Structures are given as C-alpha cells and as structure tokens.
Amino acid sequence: MYGFLIAVGVLLLVSIIWMVYRIQTLVSVVKGSDKKIASGSNKINAIMFLLFLVAAGFLFFWYSFKEYENYQLPIASDHGIVTDRLFWITTLVTGIVFIATHLLLFIFPYRYQYKENKRADFFPHNNKLEVIWTAVPALVLTILIVSGWKAWTDITSPAPENAHVVEIMGYQFAWDIRYAGKDNVLGDFDYRLINASNSHGVDFTDKNAFDDFSSPVVVIPKGEPVLFKIRARDVLHSVFAPHFRLKMDAVPGMPTRFWFVANKTTDEMRAEVGNEEFEYEIACTEICGRGHNSMRRVIKVVEPAEYQSWLAEQRPFIEQNPDLIADLPAELKELAEIQISENKK
C-alpha cells in the first residue's frame, strides 16, 4: 500500500513536471524566443554564475576556518612540522590562484554576456601575455619544488646510526611488531619459517634474533630517532601514522623503511588535545582485502628514560617460547640459553 502511494505520488510529480515543460516549450515557440540568438535565460545564467561565486566562496571560507581545528591533525614528529608547513605554503599559493581565477571565471560571464549590438574583441593572441603566464607559474613552481625536494631528501635520507629499530609487518588484517632488542639489530627472517609459534618467520640461527621481542603496542621514545623497518607477509599494506605524517607501503619480498623523530609523548598530546583517551594510531592505506579498514595498532610515545625501563622489562621470543630454539645446533643453543639466563637476573 505504502509503495503504491509512493508510486502514485512520483507519477503525479513527473506528469506535472512534464506539463510545465510542454507549456514552457509552446510558450517559447509562440513568443519566438527560440529564434533569438540568446534568450532571456542568458541573463539568468550569467547572474547564476555570480550567485554561485558568492555562495560557494562564502561556504569555502566559512567552513575552512570553522573546521580548521578538526581537520588539521596535531603534529607529533619533527619532519611533520616541515611537511605541514610546506602543505600550508602550497595551499596559500594555490588558494590565491584558485580565488583569482574563479573571480575572473565567474565575473566574466556576467560582465560579457551576449548583447545584440555588441561585438566581441578579436584578440587571437598576445605573445607578451603568454610569456608572462608561462614564466610566472614556472617560477613559482620551481620555488615550491625546491623546498619540497629538500624536505623529501632529508626525510628519506639514511637513518642515524643510533636510531631505535622497530619492525612492522603487515598481514591480513593486522600489524605485527618486532623489536631489535638490546643489540638494536633485528635477526634475519625467512617467510618459509613462518608458523603458528613464529608469526614473523624469524630465523633463530641468527644470533641477533636471540634478544628480539614482540609487543602489542609500538612503544617509542620521544626526541630520539626511530627507524621503522616495514614488510608484508601476504599482500601490499601501507603503514600510515597520521599524527607523525608518516606513510610507507609494506611490500611482500621488498622490505621498506621510514625513520622519524617523535616530538610529543602520548601524555603531552593527551593534554594538548584535552582528551584523556587519546592514542597515536597506525592504519593501513593500501587496499588489502576485507579487513582493510580494521588494521589498527597503537603507538605509545614515552620519555627516553621510561622507554629504557620498558625495554628492560621485555622478554625475548626465545624466553617466552623455548621451543623456538629447540632445533638449533648445540653451540647456538647454548649461546641462546646463556642469554636467557642473563636476562633473568
């Protein structure tokens, strides 16, 4: 019944529109306005452009300023300050061009709408003008590029020697974290070693792996360089930590990396945004299947001292699960066991 009523309503509406349309057409034929080069609608369209300019311009400014606090995520890394400054400088430059060109684009239609007794200017070209508006954008772009290029080179330069190494491995649909441990060197891995008890495929014949450990939360120190070593186990993923302005794809078979310096602890950020629950997050930004939108991992930034004490508390893989070293050659096994017992002290 409900559906029937809707159908009748729609039918009525359509037929009314139809009638209006036919009448309009007939009236315009009678008036002969369809013979004119430009009918009265010309003026209406010209005015519409002006109205659109004013209304859309108002919305643009109003919303951009009103919402700034919302869409501008707080920055928590050193390089993020640089890239955000670049973003806003570029926005300022493009914003000026955006407004200037649109003023012209929408005012011209009103200003130069068709008049029967008028002729358009025959103005096919002007070399001076054309050279100017080739050269000026080229110059402005060069400045923008060079500053972007400098930032990019700094960000992608090799990580400092003392950077804390953290491995992030993406899989459907989560991230696994591995720390390099006391020696700050990650043990080798091989995807063929992956099984239920060794989700990272760590190769424990490599001594560097003895102190490697995992953590449910990515804990990093404030003010010290951190190197994310990024890889994927199945399909492409992408590590995205929006507050750190950090993004890097995780590629199966091709490890990638990204280093940065966090400059606000989680607690400081909580105070800044006035939210006790605030957490830094990692999300996935490369389509990876059904759970693409649920690959969340929390990053916790702490003071360096707190980081050191946290580090000391962590128990390596081989200590939590001694089976991992059960098959090692005797010599290595001994070494591993020594390390375990040292840790326990």
Near another protein by CB under 8 A, which window of 5-13, 150-158, 212-220, 313-321? 150-158
Candidates 1, 5, 30, 37; binder of another protein (CB under 8 A) is 37
In whole angstroms, how close is the CB of 192 to another protein at the nearest point? 5
Interface characters, 124-143, with another protein (x: CB under 8 A):
xxx--xx--xx--xx--x--
User: What mask, x for binding another protein by CB under 8 A, covers residues 71 to 90?
Assistant: xxx------x-xxx-xx--x
Binding status of residue 251 toward another protein by CB under 8 A: yes
Using the contact rule CB under 8 A, the part of the chain among 117-125, 209-217, 315-323, 336-344 near another protein is 117-125
214 binds another protein (CB under 8 A): no
Does position 15 bind another protein by CB under 8 A?
A: no
How far apart are the C-alpha atoms of 201 and 209, rounded to whole Å? 11
Which is nearer to another protein, 124 or 329 (by Cβ)? 124
Examine residue 197 and tell whether it contacts another protein (CB under 8 A): no
Nearer to another protein, 170 or 316 (CB): 170
Given the rule CB under 8 A, which of 35-43, 202-210, 302-310, 313-321 is the region that contacts another protein? Answer: 35-43
Q: 137: phi > 0 → left, psi -120 to 50 → alpha, else beta; which?
A: alpha
Q: Which residue's structure tokens are 């360089």? A: 225
Could you say which residues in the range 279-308 bind another protein, by CB under 8 A?
A: 279, 281, 283-294, 296
Distance CA 118, CA 173 (A): 67
Q: What is the smallest separation between the CB atom of 78 and another protein, expressed in angstroms? A: 13
Distance CA 109, CA 154 (A): 47
* CB of 262 closer than 8 Å to CB of 222: yes
Q: In the complex with another protein, which residue's Cβ is closer, 67 or 323?
A: 67
With respect to another protein, which residue has the nearer C-beta, 253 or 329?
Answer: 253
Mapping DSSP to helix (H, G, I), strand (E, B) and coil, where does residue 70 land? helix
The structure tokens listed for 256 are: 């990638």
Rounded Cα distance, 100 and 106, in Å: 10
Type and span of the H or E element at 274: none
Contacts of 82 (CB under 8 A, 6+ apart): 151, 154, 155
320 binds another protein (CB under 8 A): no
Report the distance separating Cα 102 and Cα 28, nearest Å: 33
- Residue 5 Cβ vs another protein, minimum distance, rounded to whole Å: 16
The answer to whether 222 touches 310, Cβ cutoff 8 Å, is no
- C-alpha to C-alpha distance for 343 and 345, rounded to whole angstroms: 5
Segment contacting another protein by CB under 8 A, of 104-112, 208-216, 219-227, 330-338: 104-112
290 φ/ψ angles, rounded to the nearest 5 degrees: -50, -45
- Of the candidates 259, 77, 289, which has an alpha carbon nearest to the alpha carbon of residue 170? 289
Q: Is 69 in the site for another protein (CB under 8 A)?
A: no
Taking CB under 8 A as the criterion, the residue among 50, 159, 194, 217 binding another protein is: 194
Query: Which of residues 165 and 248 has its CB atom nearest to another protein in the complex?
Result: 248
Nearer to another protein, 300 or 339 (CB): 300
Q: How far separated are the first and last CA of the chain, in Å rounded?
A: 79
